[in-house]
Amino acid sequence: MKKTCIILLLSCLLTSCGILIPWPESKNYPTTTFYVKNNADKAINFQSTVLKRSSNGPFKVTVPFTVQPKDSVLARKVGFKKDAEPQKWFIEFTISPVVGIKMNNPNKPENWKKGTSIKGKRFYTFTIAE
């Protein structure tokens, strides 16, 4: 009897976490990734602030990033509404200036280039510096 209860409780716990039965991805909000690319010869630092939601309500989360020269970083991965603008998924996007490097504006939608991965997942890339 104890074994049966333990197995049942463990199954419920794993199912509630989505481990045993993964939920299919929503077609209205497919997973989308946001990359920040650095084409400059120097490392660039920036901070992005996003709005997270929890049972206690929405709250802001700010994360610092460093993008190495000729490299990119994953800035966010989220269920993204198909017709939403990518720059609006970041509340704040603060770029630390680097002498001699022209920075692009992350608040302009034309600076976010849309792409599709091999698996058919959508992503956006913001080139922070040329």
**Every domain of the chain and the residues it spans:** 24-129
List the structure tokens of 110: 């034309």
pLDDT at position 15 is: 62
Annotate 55-94 with DSSP letters as a single string. Answer: TTEEEEEEEEEEE-TTEEEEEEEEE--TTS-GGGG-SEEE
62 and 32 Cβ atoms separated by less than 8 Å: no
pLDDT at position 36 is: 94
pLDDT in tens, the chain (130 residues): 667 767 767 666 666 655 445 555 556 667 888 999 999 999 999 999 988 888 888 899 999 999 999 999 999 888 766 666 777 788 898 999 899 899 999 988 889 999 988 988 889 999 998 8
pLDDT at position 104 is: 93
